[in-house]
Amino acid sequence: MEALQRMHNRGSISTGYDIDNSYKNEADNTERMYRPWGAGGGNSQTFTVSLWVKRTELDTQQYIWGAGTGGTNFFLVSFESDNTMRVRSHVSSSDQAVYITNRIFRDTSAWYHIVTAVDTTSGTAGDRLRIYINGVEETSFSTETNFSQNDSTMHNANSSYMEVGTVIGEANRFCGYISEVISISGSQLAPTTFGEFDSDSNIWIPKEYTGSFPQNSVFLEFKDSSSLGTDTSGNDQTFTLQNITAADQATDTPTNNFPTLIPMYTPASSCILSEGGLEWDINMPSGSAFNPNTSAMSSFQVSGTNGGKWYIESKITNNNRGFVGIVSSLAFLQQTTDPTEFVYWDFYNGWIGSSLISTETNPPDAAVNTIIGIALDCDNQRVTFSKNGGWLAANGDMTGGSPSDWRWDWTSDANFLDHPNCNGNIAFWCGTQTDANVYRPIHQVNFGGFSPYTISSGNVDENGYGNFEYAVPSGFYALCTKNLAEYG
């Protein structure tokens, strides 16, 4: 368990230092940011690059960052299709160095801190390229080819480009969130320059970088939504953006982590997860039978008893043949098609139902682009729904009532949490109709850290977290690790 904690930062509260922003990079949108070094460059033999990443899609090759001039001249860091990590330096017609980890990186609920520290002038071959993940040096590799002494790489090289989200414009772009990119020219630095182990949890967390920024060094904080590529190192190395806009700024960071969506079962091959892991495209051809492998759930779960009060928004596009709601934890049902316990809003038929109750209530139906609010009250064990900001509970009352008030209370139905394969937890859930004519509902879910749809008003919870279209009800909070630490 200790090794798991040390390798997986799920957004612990940082003592004295917070990262406020990240940005969402999406391969499908051909997003990236880049900066030419120009004449003069920096130190291409000795440098360190530190950044935090959170994956949202797996099993494909994805370039995280790199540098180069195109063709056969590049330096890159990537996740591979088998979810290992590769660092490769290639100049002209040959590799200078190639490292591929034995470790795999599949956790889409966690932030990874990646430090690539290079000093090709070192007299010790094994010290010329050092790779650290969450404060721990990688030492086990399936491929390990060292630099020759005094090799010059493409990073910081004259007329070369540094790129974030890909390398030299390649198609294999990163899918997920990137936060706090720091590139230091002229120094091979330890990970403790940028992070530390929390004294209580022993989880690796960020700390403030207090060193200098020599020529060609870069600090990207993604704080200015109107110019996400702004360099705050003082070196004026602002990056050019490709298909990245203010809407790609996120508050999902290594010091305040938010959920994304994950498939509940082995996903149907037609389903597509995108937009920072928050858009679930259930791409079922017309006439397809219901397939439970098209369901998705939140990567965070909360206790069904005394688990806090949480607010979530969900929107459906393309057509309204789908539903959203909550589901009893499926931690032990992955890869199966077992019946599950759930409560949901059926967009198409216009009712709220449950696998556990024989009667259904009848709220207004929800057309395409309706935003459904979900108030999940685990302290009082009930869930309430809203439509475009209007709560469906009688007279807007969210503290009492019965299912006939478009609220469902699970205190009287222990089966909701007592399923043999349930661990007492609850997750957000979205899926599709059990109708043979279902085709392609697209769910867009906003937990508050990033919204896959445009927010026109902007509302935060009482602690200032989240970004929602409608007001967060009093006493409810965005589902994030800072709030979970206080209320969960």
Ordered domains of the chain (ranges, CATH): 2-250 (2.60.120.200), 261-487 (2.60.120.920)
Cα–Cα dist 376/483, whole Å: 14
* Residue 79: pLDDT over 90: yes
User: Whose structure tokens read 């970088």?
Assistant: 209
3 Cβ neighbours under 8 A, 6+ residues apart: none
* Percent of the chain's residues with pLDDT above 90: 56
pLDDT of residue 195: 96
The rounded distance, in Å, linking the Cα atoms of 444 and 437 is: 21
Exposure letters 374-384 (e unless 16+ CB within 10 A, then b): bbbbbeebbbb
What letters, b where the CB count within 10 A reaches 16 and e where it falls short, cover 318-355?
bbbbbbbbbbbbbeebeeeeeebbbbbbbbbeebbbbe
Q: Is 422 exposed, middle or buried (0-12, 13-18, 19+ CB in 10 A)?
A: buried
**pTM strictly above 0.85:** yes
The pLDDT score that the predictor gives to residue 395 is 44
User: How far, in Å, CA of 246 to CA of 225, rounded?
Assistant: 5
Q: What is the pLDDT of residue 212?
A: 97
What is the per-residue pLDDT across 383-393, written as a single tens digit (0 to 9) for each? 888 888 887 65
pLDDT of residue 3: 35
Please tell me the distance from the alpha carbon of residue 74 to that of residue 63, in angstroms, as a whole number: 12
Banded model confidence at residue 169, pLDDT cuts 50, 70, 90: confident
Q: What is the pLDDT of residue 361?
A: 52
In this predicted structure, what is the pLDDT of residue 332?
Answer: 39
C-beta neighbour count of 284 within 10 angstroms: 22
Q: Give the per-residue pLDDT at 71.
A: 78
* Residue 22 confidence (pLDDT) above 90: yes
Confidence of residue 190 (pLDDT cuts 50, 70, 90): very high
DSSP 203-270: -EEE----S---TT-EEE----TT-TT-B-SSS--PPEEES--GGGEE--BTTB----EEESSS--TT
In this structure, of 128-132, 262-266, 461-465, 482-486, the range with the lowest mean pLDDT score is 262-266
pLDDT exceeds 70 at position 241: yes
Number of CB atoms found within 10 A of residue 39's CB: 7
CA atoms of 108 and 84, how far apart (whole Å): 14
Most confident of 76-80, 213-217, 402-406: 76-80
pLDDT in tens, 113-167: 999 999 999 999 999 999 999 999 999 999 999 999 999 999 999 889 999 999 8
Task: Give the pLDDT confidence score for residue 400 in this predicted structure.
Answer: 44
- Identify which has the larger pLDDT, 159 or 211: 211
* 203 vs 399, more confident: 203
- pLDDT level of residue 39 (50, 70, 90 thresholds): low
Residue with the bigger pLDDT between 334 and 296: it is 296
β 136-137/195-197 pair status: unpaired
CB 302 within 8 A of CB 477: no
Of 252-256, 258-262, 374-378, least confident by mean pLDDT is: 374-378
| Alpha-helical runs (H) found in 136-292 | none
The H or E element that residue 73 is part of is strand 73-79
Residue 269: its pLDDT value, please? 78
* The pLDDT of residue 331: 39
CA distance 47 to 217: 9
Tell me how far apart the alpha carbons of residues 364 and 414 are, in angstroms, rounded to a whole number: 28
Q: What is the pLDDT of residues 329-373, one digit of tens each?
A: 643 344 344 444 555 556 555 545 454 443 445 555 677 898 988
Q: What is the pLDDT of residues 411-455, one digit of tens each?
A: 655 556 655 555 678 888 888 765 555 667 899 999 999 999 999
Q: Which carries the bigger pLDDT value, residue 310 or residue 351?
A: 310
> Which residue from 404, 399, 366 is spatially nearest to 382, judged by alpha carbons?
399
- C-beta separation of 136 from 129 below 8 A: no
2, with CB counted inside 10 A (0-12, 13-18, 19+), is exposed
Q: Could you tell me if 51 and 180 are in contact, meaning their C-beta atoms sit under 8 angstroms apart? A: yes
Q: What is the pLDDT of residue 422?
A: 56
pLDDT given for residue 419 in this prediction: 54
**pLDDT (0 to 100) of residue 14:** 54
Q: What is the pLDDT of residue 408?
A: 61
Quickly state the pLDDT bin for 291 (edges 50, 70, 90): low
- Asked if the model's pLDDT at residue 480 lies above 50, the reply is yes
- Output Rg (C-alpha) for the chain, integer angstroms: 24
